[in-house]
Each structure stands twice: as structure tokens, then as C-alpha cells.
Structure 1
């Protein structure tokens, strides 16, 4: 199982939110690239970057901060937040991003994902499904859609998508453990590579996620509050 240390960026700074609420944030660094270097030096094989401003307004305002992360580490970086067009994907791939995560648009305009997979390939395009009570949230988690996470997963699979980042919003940033049951349900029902996200707080949580055959787990706040030692976790789950 791959571990994805997370770097959430707002106004060019590395922050963590509680349950995706923009008014409940903690700043961990003014220079996100230094955090990326730290995770890479601890053995990370992939970095997960979220552009929070982009998720909210659809603009790539944190381009320089993200580009600096890519330039600072020699491991793949995946990023999401604010992907609204094919050009947006191209811009991110052009600066060296390995995988681009499409969120809101997968709900609002599903055929866009189909076109993106066709153009860039399933190794480059990931769909981010953020849900609450099984229903998908959009626009930086500000709004709940009428689409279920399972239905969206199945539709994306039909479009050639291979990898999904599934986040349970109610767990995110709360350090109360991920939604293992629902993540397992999605894996069993779809056969997709699903990366579990939201709420990972301990090595035990990671073991629970590993048991359900998740492709990976995203670790955020637990790293920043020293509840999980990345080096130790990587030696247990990746090596």
C-alpha cells in the first residue's frame, strides 16, 4: 500500500482544515516546498497536493508554490483543486505534475473526464470523490450534489478511470479514523484502485486501510501533529 503525505495549500501556505471548513485552518508552513522536502527525505514515494484556493474559485493561484514543490523533490506529485478544463490539466502536467485529480467537474460534466482519460491516459488522470453520508460534495466541499459516491465511481470506471481518491469529509482533519467500511464497499463494488483519505490518525488506521486492499492512504494532519511517523509508516507499509 502506498502512503501519500498531503500538502494542502491556501494563499501559498501549507495549511490543514477541519472537515474542509475554510474558516477552520491551521498554518503549518509559509513555504510548502520545505514540507515536501521533509516528506521526501523521510522516504515518501509520492506527494499529494491540494490547491484549496483552486478548489474554491477554479483559478490556479498557487501555481508557483506547487511548481516549487515539483522542482524540490524527485518523486511524483499528484494535485487537485481548480481543474476546470483540458488546458488546466496541460498546465499542471507541463510543470512536472505526474497525476491530475479531477473533482467537481467529474460531477458537473462527467464526459470531461472521459475526454481527459482519452487524451492523457488513465495513469495521468485521477478522480477525487469527496463525500458526506455517501453523497458527493463539490465546489471545495461547499455544496452536496445529488450523486452518490458509488454511482460516480461506476460511471468513472466506464470512462476508463483507474484510480479514485475517496475522502469522507466528516472525517477529514478530525483524526478520528477513516471511513473504512464505505471505502471497502467502494473497492468491493467497483474493483477500482481506491486511495483512502480523511481521518487517518494512527498506524492502526493504516493497518485497517491495508486490510481492505486500498491502493493507498493519504495522511495529512496526523503527520503535522506527530501522531504518525512517516518513516516508520513507510517501512511498515511500502517496503
Structure 2
């Protein structure tokens, strides 16, 4: 199971939100590149970066901060937030990103997603499925659609998607435990590779995801608050060694 330490960027800083609410912001580091270097030094094999401002505005906002992150580390970076066009994808790739995550546009503009997959391939294009009470949330989590997450997952697979990031936004930033059941169901019902996100608070939470066969997990707040030691988690769950 790959661990993806998260760097959520707002106004060029590394922050975390509670349940995707922009009025519940905690700043953890003013320099995201410094945080990325820390995660790499502790053994991370990937870094997960979200442009929170971009998710709201529908375009890249923290691009220079993102570029600084990719230049600061030698490990691959995946990013999402406000990616709505092929030009947006090009911008991210030009900034040094390995993989881009398309969220809102995957639901609202499937033709764009299909074109992106054709141009860059499923190894570069990942879909973010953000859900609240099982329904897909859009536009920086400000809008809840009438689409079930499993139905979206199946539609994405039909278009050629192989990997999705699944976030239960009711748990994101709350340290209340991941929704293992919903994450497992999404993987089982769609056959997609699912990266779990939202609510991870402890090594026990990581163990639950690991035992359920989830291939990847994003964790943020638990790392920043010292509830999970990244180095030990990577040894145990990614490398299969005793920490």
C-alpha cells in the first residue's frame, strides 16, 4: 500500500481544511516545498498536492508553489484542484508533475476526460471521486451532485480510467477514521485501483485499509499533528517491514 503524504495549498501555504470547509483552515507550513522535502527524507515514494484555491476557481492558482515542490524533491508528485482543460494539464506537467487528478470536470465534461486519456494515458490521468453520503461532490466540494460514487466509477472505467482517488469529505480533516467500507465497495464494484483519502487518524486506520486490500492512501492532518509517524508507516505498510 503506497502512502501519499498530502500537501494542500491555499495562498501558497501548506494548510488543512475540515470537511472541505474554507472557513475551517489550519496553516501548518508557509513553505510547501520544505514540507515536501521533509516527506521525501522520511521515505515517501510520492507526494500528493492539492491546489485548494484552484479547486474553487476552476484554474491553477498555486502553480509556482507547485513547481517549487516538484523541483524540491526527486520523488513523483501527483496533483489536483481546478484542472478543467488540456491546457491546465499541460501547465501541471510543465511544472514537473507526474500525474494529474481530474475531479469536477470528469463529471461535467466527460469529453474532456476522454481527450485527456487519449493524449496522456491512464498512467498520467487520475480521477478524483469526492463523495458526501455516497453522492459525488463537485466544485471544491461546494456542490453535491445526484450521481452515486460507484456509478461515476463505472463510467470512468468505461472511458479508460484505471485509478481514482476516493475521498469521503464528511471525514476529511476530522481524524475520525477512513470509510473503509465505502472505499472497498467502490474498488469491488468498479474494478478500479482506488487511493483512499479522508479521516485517517492512526496506524490502526492504516492497518484497516491495508487489510482491506486498498492499494494507496493519502494522509495529511494525522502526519502534521504527529498521530502517524510517516517513516514507521512506510516501513510497515509500503515496504512490509517491522517498524
Q: CA deviation at 1:107?
A: 1.0
> Counterpart in 2 of 1:210?
210
Q: CA–CA distance in 1 between the matches of 2:35 and 2:23?
A: 22
> Counterpart in 1 of 2:51?
51
Instruction: Provide the secondary structure at the position in 2 that maps to 1:227.
Output: coil
The count of residues paired between Structure 1 and Structure 2 equals 239
Long gaps (5+) in structure 1: none
Q: CA deviation at 1:215?
A: 1.6
Alignment check: 8 A CA contact 2:9 2:52 kept = yes
> Counterpart in 2 of 1:71?
71
Long gaps (5+) in structure 2: none
Deviations 1:120-141 (A, max 9, x none): 0010000000000110000000
Q: CA deviation at 1:59?
A: 2.3
Q: CA deviation at 1:89?
A: 0.3
Q: CA–CA distance in 2 between the matches of 1:23 and 1:168?
A: 19
TM-score by length of 1: 0.99
How well do the aligned residues superpose, as a CA RMSD in angstroms? 0.6
Comparing 123-132 with 107-116, greater Cα deviation is found at 107-116
Instruction: Provide the secondary structure at the position in 1 that maps to 2:174.
Output: coil
> Counterpart in 2 of 1:194?
194
- Written as runs of structure 1 = structure 2, the 5 A alignment for 1:40-189 is 40-189=40-189
Instruction: Provide the secondary structure at the position in 2 that maps to 1:222.
Output: helix
> Counterpart in 1 of 2:39?
39
Instruction: Provide the secondary structure at the position in 2 that maps to 1:233.
Output: helix
Alignment check: 8 A CA contact 2:63 2:95 kept = no
Q: 4+ residue stretches of structure 1 with deviation over 2 A?
A: none
TM-score by length of 2: 0.97
Q: CA deviation at 1:111?
A: 2.2
Q: CA–CA distance in 2 between the matches of 1:156 and 1:111?
A: 11
